[in-house]
A and B are shown apart, each in its own frame.
Chain A
């Protein structure tokens, strides 16, 4: 079987394997939230100031919350299968629409952060490793140490103070300038402009991590026998670094990045709140406190799907980088 046919079969196999995983996550999420004290009716009643028990019971009946658990689960599963994620009574909007609105900013932030962190991390690691124990190496290592140790929210606030307030280069918050009603390329540029500071803030920590990982990985690979072989063949140092060592050294970085993309989906709450970025993290945070279970379940489901998809992508990248990984 050719390599590409084998890869296609591998992707299909992984997609089929993902189905039971997603189903299990959906069911587990459902029960997890059932275990939490209180429901949306409690919150609504609490916020209204006073509500009679009769009114609350009426609300529960209206939302289907008085049904036995298995029935609620079955209804939920049926709805999920028809891509109906329910209705958020808090936001008075269908959950799917709410989530989709928020998903694009989240993906935007996530993808740009990962690209920036992995890209620059690999580059800085490479520069540090090739100039081992020179000033470049020291400077990069110190930079990595400082960014690794600095809290995210502080970096965000400082960037705003310096680049937005003092220098006025970048907007302080939001995803786009809604008052200008930009369209087409103007809008793209506007969003990119807003994206710069949140991306830098969120990626700094990961950047430091990948820099250190890449540096260590390069140094380890540099000591391997195949490097000596390449030298014994008369291959130039340039090719040894960029062709022989680089590809082998990338493998641990890809593994690490794959694990962290999942964490990024939910872990950007701080950056989203500092920059008022309309992402899923903030939505999840609000939904949690509002006991908006439908919305929370929807976000959980979407996150699970994203993580499964990202894992698949990472595995495919990995298998094309490392032929020793068996696909099939």
Chain B
């Protein structure tokens, strides 16, 4: 087996005043031909910068390789000249990125962007280049290569864009493909397809793939070998079997333990008291059209959506992007107006209520948002963020403050947080603030819209546990929106699966996982990355303890 890449004692230095002197410290690993090496770690672990260092794409001059070697075919890339690196990039080593929408130039067609790779590395006639591009696009199984060549990035779906990116990266049959979280921004079924594609392409071309990810499920699915990074250090490496079954480093063990398993939570008895009932909810979005013709596009974000929520119960709404799950959540809390149907909270239909009539009902149903960075006002202190709701609802300032301090403690933050600004907190802490804000109004129903999808897996586990505790303490009912069936399995008593605005299946978590009735549910379940590895919690526990 040929060694493609040998990284020895790699140090990547951060600018002065950063949290730590080195983003990557003394990294040692290698990549062979025809294998997939997964570099796993949480945000800030230095995994992406390692990849960038190999490509010579560090954000210089502030971040640079301070020490060590990156040996590729007996050539040290850490000291190679920029013109030489430019030759290597795109032809010998190429890269795909996390977010295919922003990674492609929005004002250039896919065809032109693929063509550049050929133009800058090979001498070929334009006809030849076009034929090569077409065959590449059909290799990555884009449905209509001719059309895709002429398309702009926004005219393709997320999965198609990532396929086009892969085509571009593989254009000159590189020896090494670096994939930086290439499936993180994709839906779970699309993710499964793209992972399969990468694996197939790698096998067909004998490419060495350096795959950066934070998801152990993905690791289990495609990796031959694994390197785990924490705070810039490679803490453990070995074959996938070794690392997943017998992790030796405590960090690896905790990471693997934090991966939510697909095994559903033990069923609980369901209260007979129904808090929230949603009946035949309808919501459509229209765009285009108008007086001058033009095609009007109608998207049914919610079509005859019906479910109910018992006291103390958590109902998961699971679906891919565009399934309407967030629209339903926003309609329930009346951030969006549904066109038809009923939203019965304690027997009162909220849907037709005007602003003033809705106000007394607002506190009863509160929302936790997805992005803890964007959902808190950066100019307001945490105390004000939490206490503002109750004060608007009529509480006096002193009681509101006392309550806010209590809530900070409930969500696991100290009282000092009261006078600080959101940017002083980490993502997980901010989501705790978001939860405290929602709880400040003593709601009966908490609607959580993807509350953990922006968080690292270990933080994710903590927030899920927090939500669970709070629900039990306060006897809350919760609507939990997520795209991740693994997360849903951890927290939900019942699950509703949505697709294109319709609830295709609804039932208790255990039953839904064991015997999914709808074809789409089965498809979603089989697309969960690493489902074979992480299905059985017993095996996982055994792995951790050994």
Contacts and interface: CB of A to CB of B under 8 A. Distances in A.
B104 A226 contact: yes
Interface string B266-308: 0000000000000000000000100010100000000000000
Given A232-B57, A233-B120, A324-B152, A247 B107 contact: yes
Interface string A2-15: 00000000000100
B87 A234 contact: yes
A229 B169 CA distance: 10
Contacts of A247: 107-108
B369 interface: no
Q: Tell me which of B87, B108, B288 has the highest count of chain A C-beta atoms within 10 A of its own C-beta.
A: B108
B103 A236 contact: no
B120 A328 contact: no
Contacts of A226: 102-106
Interface in B40-74: 55, 57
A248 B105 contact: yes
Interface string A224-258: 11101111111110010001100110000000000
B154 interface: yes
B120 A228 contact: no
B116 A233 contact: yes
A234 B120 contact: yes
Contacts of B168: 233
Interface stretch (B5-13, B91-99, B128-136, B510-518): B91-99
Given A16-B292, A234-B87, A229 B104 contact: yes
A165 interface: no
A225 B95 contact: no
A229 B288 contact: no
B154 A323 contact: yes
Contacts of B165: 229
A58 interface: no
A231 B292 CA distance: 44
Contacts, number: 77
B95 A232 contact: yes
A170 to B, nearest CB: 41
B292 A236 contact: no
Interface in A53-103: none
Given A244-B105, A323-B152, A232 B94 contact: yes
Interface string A288-328: 00000000000000000000000000000000011110101
Nearest to A250: B107
A253 to B, nearest CB: 14
B141 interface: no
B88 A234 contact: yes
B116 A235 contact: yes
Interface residues of A, number: 26
Contact of A232 (B55, B106, B152, B288): B55
A232 B107 contact: no
A292 B218 CA distance: 78
A328 B296 CA distance: 11
Contacts of A230: 105, 116
A134 interface: no
Given A233-B117, A323-B154, A328-B294, A228 B103 contact: yes
A50 interface: no
Contacts of A234: 86-91, 117, 120-121
Contacts of B152: 323-324
Given A229-B103, A248-B107, A324 B89 contact: no
Contacts of A324: 106-107, 152, 154
A144 B152 CA distance: 36
Given A228-B57, A244-B108, A324-B152, A236 B120 contact: yes
A284 to B, nearest CB: 34
Contacts of A243: 108
Nearest to A234: B90
A225 B103 contact: yes
Contacts of A17: 292
B90 A322 contact: no
Contacts of B89: 231-234
B261 to A, nearest CB: 33
Contact of B102 (A13, A225, A231, A232): A225
Contacts of A323: 106-107, 152, 154
A248 B105 CA distance: 9
A236 B88 CA distance: 12
Contacts of A328: 294
Given A229-B104, A248-B107, A235 B120 contact: yes
Contacts of A228: 57, 97, 103
Contacts of A239: 116, 120
Contacts of A235: 90, 116, 120
A176 B108 CA distance: 46
Given A235-B116, A248-B105, A322-B107, 8 more contacts: A229-B165, A232-B89, A234-B87, A234-B89, A236-B86, A239-B116, A324-B152, A324-B154
Smallest CB-CB A-B distances: 4 pairs: A234-B90, A233-B90, A234-B89, A225-B102
28 contacts: A16-B292, A225-B97, A225-B99, A226-B106, A228-B103, A229-B95, A229-B103, A230-B116, A231-B55, A233-B94, A233-B117, A234-B86, A234-B87, A234-B88, A234-B120, A235-B116, A236-B86, A236-B120, A239-B116, A244-B105, A247-B108, A248-B106, A248-B107, A322-B106, A323-B106, A323-B107, A324-B106, A324-B107
